[in-house]
Amino acid sequence: MPYMKTNIKAENSLEAKGIPDDPRKRAKYLAIIEAALEAFSEYGYHDCPVSKIARKANIADGTIYLYFANKEEVLISVFQEKINRLITDIEKSTEDCTNSWEKIEVLVRYHMSSLGNNRVLANFLQIQLRQSSNNIRRGIAIPLKKFYFLIENFVIEGQKEGVIDSLINAKIARKLIFGTIDEVVSCWVLSRRQYDVKDLIDDVLYIFRRALIVDTAA
């Protein structure tokens, strides 16, 4: 995922239109999202005409423009749908955690496992979005800010609980967590060597544990 130097606060005016309420339109919209994810990952954003997305979604080219203004909006919507889903799933998965370190551990495991099990999604998030324009980067900023906030909030909660070192700058800790995951997954996507990125989860968590947890809780 592209790392962005942004303020956590988000502007609602930049949000994507989202999933339509009408069941038929909803199904078509989601079909376009999944087809676009596959097409962008396979061909790259710049080399992927709308016709390739339409073909994968089994719809006419013009149908896409009933839901999206242009290809740029399709890309932004794919990112927003996938990241918002990731955030929702992580929040649900952390509901039963007893402390914030457990929440961070769940976040790392879920994020890396989700991408490790779906190379198409990993390629899209880690590679294709880095080649995008400033307009696209502005469009994907909101869900990315939400993900940053989720990580940072877990760190702050952990500091209040006495689990995470209170002397650590929460924003720096958030950058450490996100940046490490991002780099590890990107290297896996780009590597010619065959290996399972999920095998590195425990190593990543060990580094975070040594860096963040107070000595008495280590």
Which of 35, 169, 209, 187 is closest to 112 using CA atoms?
Answer: 187
- CATH of 71-217 given 1.10.357.10, 3.30.70.980, 3.40.50.2300, 2.60.40.10: 1.10.357.10
Contacting residues for 46 by C-beta, under 8 A, at least 6 apart: 131
* pLDDT tens digits in sequence order for the chain, 218 residues long: 665 554 444 343 344 566 777 888 899 999 999 999 999 999 999 999 999 999 999 999 999 999 999 999 999 999 999 999 999 999 999 999 999 999 999 999 999 999 999 999 999 999 877 766 888 888 888 889 999 999 999 999 999 999 999 999 999 999 999 999 999 999 999 999 999 999 999 999 999 999 999 976 44
Query: Tokens 């450490």 belong to which residue?
Result: 176
Burial class of residue 30 (count of CB atoms within 10 Å of its CB; 0-12, 13-18, 19+):
middle
138-142 CB contacts, 8 Å cutoff, 24+ apart = 138/14, 139/14, 139/16, 139/72, 139/73, 139/75, 139/76, 139/79, 139/80, 140/2, 140/76, 140/79, 140/80, 140/83, 141/4, 141/6, 141/10, 141/14, 142/10, 142/11, 142/12, 142/14, 142/15, 142/80
Sign of CA dihedral 54, 141, 123, 155: negative
Handedness of CA 14, 68, 149, 175 (dihedral sign): negative
* R_g of the chain computed on alpha carbons: 18
In sequence order, the 6+-apart residues with CB closer than 8 A to the CB of 170 are 152, 155, 156, 159
* Nearest alpha carbon to residue 78 among 127, 120, 37: 37
**What's the pLDDT score for residue 134?**
84
**How is the chain split into domains, by residue range?**
71-217
37: nearest Cα among 22, 48, 27, 28:
48
Q: What is the pLDDT of residue 216?
A: 61
Distance of alpha carbon 63 from alpha carbon 206, whole angstroms: 48
Q: CB under 8 Å to 206, separation ≥6 — which residues?
A: none
Question: What gap in Å lies between CA 217 and CA 194, rounded to an integer?
Answer: 36
